[in-house]
């Protein structure tokens, strides 16, 4: 099939499918530690503060290595970079099972985070080369839906597996899955549609017709000053901080909050610990469809910024509602709604990075995601501090509601029509 009038092939959707599998494995490995935390604390003798430091070690490394890894992916392509990322983090998922004390657990999770850094920007870079602009929000929504579906089911899966094995073996089994993905990705994927034998002329023309023009990649001061000095980067970073802060709460301290604050039994704990991520799947999907639909009708500014800002207002209201209600189930549901509304923004946020970044989409999305990882880094420690200071789990819930409202303000200053590198 060589004629441009032929029906385009669908290789780009198979690329998206591989990326979705990556997202699912990522969140399986990342979310399981929250459910396994009570068992880890008991066996290793860790207190609440030490467990917070274990959670934060991952986020610290992720933040430190996010931008350098994304820059590497922008320069060399994502075939080798994503394969290396998955092999590295899978190895340290396995090694988490060998931790014997607090120090070994912190080091292992730090190296786990260093290896996983750059995965999401690498996917954004891949989509910027493979997915037409008109489909990006939808594809990003489906991508995050796969991640959050996996994360939402993880507490239930872990609860089932603990009936047959210890927490160490859970890490071993989860770690092995990544090696299978890395082998398949490296053998099949190509950095550019033009390099892939399954892409016909029509599909290549469809992808490249809407793709941003290529520009050079540098490493000098001028390059980084142009990146970090652009108003869109500041607005994206300000907006994205609460997203990751609250998400990290949900995959780390939420089970403890549900148990200590509301006294949920094991069955309800597994259900409501996973519910925020289950509702996030709906937020991901509808958010992705919505940002593309509004963009086609009203343009990029409303399609990205208005959709994102509106969803954050809903998230803030729901989180504040969870803090003031006295009903346990309602509080758990409102927290889940808040996270789902927050995830509604992801299609708009990550598509904006591709819109304004072009061939630098990896670095641009990494800058935004690094801000999120700073939120993730601070979350366990801030939550622990507020809980100990006020002796009430509602204190961090109020904070997270306020952060969402601040994020809505940040969206007002995002302009996806302004490219960073012309």
pTM above 0.75, yes or no: yes
Q: Is residue 113 part of a domain?
A: yes
Note the pLDDT tens digit of each residue in 150-208.
Answer: 877 887 888 888 888 889 999 999 889 889 999 999 999 998 898 999 989 988 888 88
Residues contacting 350, CB < 8 A, separation 6+: 120, 124, 140, 144, 365
DSSP state of 195: G
pLDDT reported for residue 1: 42
Q: Is residue 1 part of a domain?
A: no
Question: How wide is the angle at C-alpha 365 spanned by C-alphas 363 and 367, nearest 5°?
Answer: 70
* C-alpha to C-alpha distance for 148 and 125, rounded to whole angstroms: 20
> What total of structural domains would you count in the chain?
1
Residue whose structure tokens are 């927050």 = 342
Q: For residue 38, what is the domain's CATH number?
A: 1.20.1250.20
* C-alpha to C-alpha distance for 348 and 370, rounded to whole angstroms: 17
Question: How wide is the angle at C-alpha 209 spanned by C-alphas 147 and 80, nearest 5°?
Answer: 45
10 Å CB burial of residue 160 (0-12, 13-18, 19+) is: exposed
Residues contacting 17, CB < 8 A, separation 6+: none
Q: Is residue 3 part of a domain?
A: no
Q: Are 61 and 110 in contact (CB under 8 A)?
A: yes
* C-alpha to C-alpha distance for 236 and 367, rounded to whole angstroms: 9
Q: Are 42 and 169 in contact (CB under 8 A)?
A: no
* C-alpha to C-alpha distance for 125 and 66, rounded to whole angstroms: 13
Q: Is residue 248 part of a domain?
A: yes
Please report the sign of the dihedral spanned by the C-alpha atoms of residue 95, residue 96, residue 97, residue 100. positive
Q: Is residue 2 part of a domain?
A: no
- What SS3 state is found at 185? helix
Q: Is residue 86 part of a domain?
A: yes
What are the structure tokens assigned to 148, written together? 């959050």
Q: Is residue 418 part of a domain?
A: no
pLDDT reported for residue 381: 82
Furthest-apart CA pair in the chain: how many Å? 69
Note the pLDDT tens digit of each residue in 42-52.
Answer: 899 988 788 87
Q: Is residue 220 part of a domain?
A: no
- Residues of the domain holding 306: 11-210+230-411
Note the pLDDT tens digit of each residue in 384-411.
Answer: 889 888 888 889 999 999 999 999 999 9
pLDDT reported for residue 86: 92
pLDDT reported for residue 3: 45
What stretches in the chain show pLDDT beneath 50? 1-4
What letters, b where the CB count within 10 A reaches 16 and e where it falls short, cover 68-79?
Answer: ebbbbbbeebbb
Counted residue by residue, the chain has a size of 422
What are the structure tokens assigned to 94, written together? 């396995």
């Amino acid at each position: 099939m060589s004629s441009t009038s032929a029906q385009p092939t669908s290789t780009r959707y198979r690329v998206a499918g591989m990326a979705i599998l990556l997202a699912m494995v990522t969140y399986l490995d990342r979310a399981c530690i929250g459910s396994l935390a009570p068992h880890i604390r008991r066996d290793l003798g860790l207190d609440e503060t030490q467990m917070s430091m274990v959670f934060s070690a991952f986020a610290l490394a992720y933040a430190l290595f996010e931008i350098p890894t994304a820059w590497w992916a922008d320069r060399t392509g994502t075939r080798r970079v994503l394969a290396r990322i998955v092999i590295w983090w899978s190895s340290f998922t396995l090694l988490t099972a060998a931790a014997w004390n607090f120090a070994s657990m912190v080091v292992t999770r730090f190296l786990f985070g260093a290896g996983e850094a750059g995965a999401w920007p690498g996917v954004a870079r891949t989509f910027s080369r493979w997915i037409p602009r008109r489909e990006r929000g939808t594809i990003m929504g489906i991508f995050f839906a796969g991640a959050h579906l996996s994360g939402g089911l993880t507490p239930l899966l872990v609860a089932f597996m603990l009936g047959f094995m210890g927490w160490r073996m859970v890490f071993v089994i989860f770690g092995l899955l990544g090696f299978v993905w890395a082998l398949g990705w490296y053998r099949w994927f190509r950095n550019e549609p033009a390099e892939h034998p399954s892409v016909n002329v029509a599909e290549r023309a469809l992808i490249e017709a809407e793709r941003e023009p290529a520009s050079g990649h540098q490493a000098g001061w001028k390059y980084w000053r142009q990146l970090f000095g652009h108003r869109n980067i500041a607005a994206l970073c300000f907006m994205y901080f609460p997203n990751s802060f609250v998400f990290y709460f949900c995959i780390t301290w939420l089970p403890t909050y549900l148990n200590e604050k509301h006294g949920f039994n094991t069955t309800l704990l597994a259900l409501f610990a996973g519910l925020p991520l289950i509702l996030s799947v709906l937020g991901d999907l509808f958010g992705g469809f919505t940002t593309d639909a509004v963009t086609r009708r009203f343009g990029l500014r409303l399609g990205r910024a208005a959709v994102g800002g509106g969803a954050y207002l809903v998230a803030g209201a729901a989180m504040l509602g969870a803090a003031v209600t006295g009903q346990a189930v309602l509080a758990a549901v409102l927290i889940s709604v808040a996270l789902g509304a927050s995830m509604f923004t992801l299609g708009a946020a990550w598509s904006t990075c591709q819109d304004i970044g072009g061939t630098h989409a990896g670095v641009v999305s990494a800058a935004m995601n690094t801000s999120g990882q700073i939120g993730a880094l601070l979350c366990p420690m801030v939550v622990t501090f507020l809980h100990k200071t006020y002796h009430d789990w509602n204190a961090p819930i109020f904070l997270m509601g306020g952060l969402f409202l601040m994020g809505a303000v940040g969206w007002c200053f995002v302009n996806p029509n302004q490219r960073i590198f012309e």
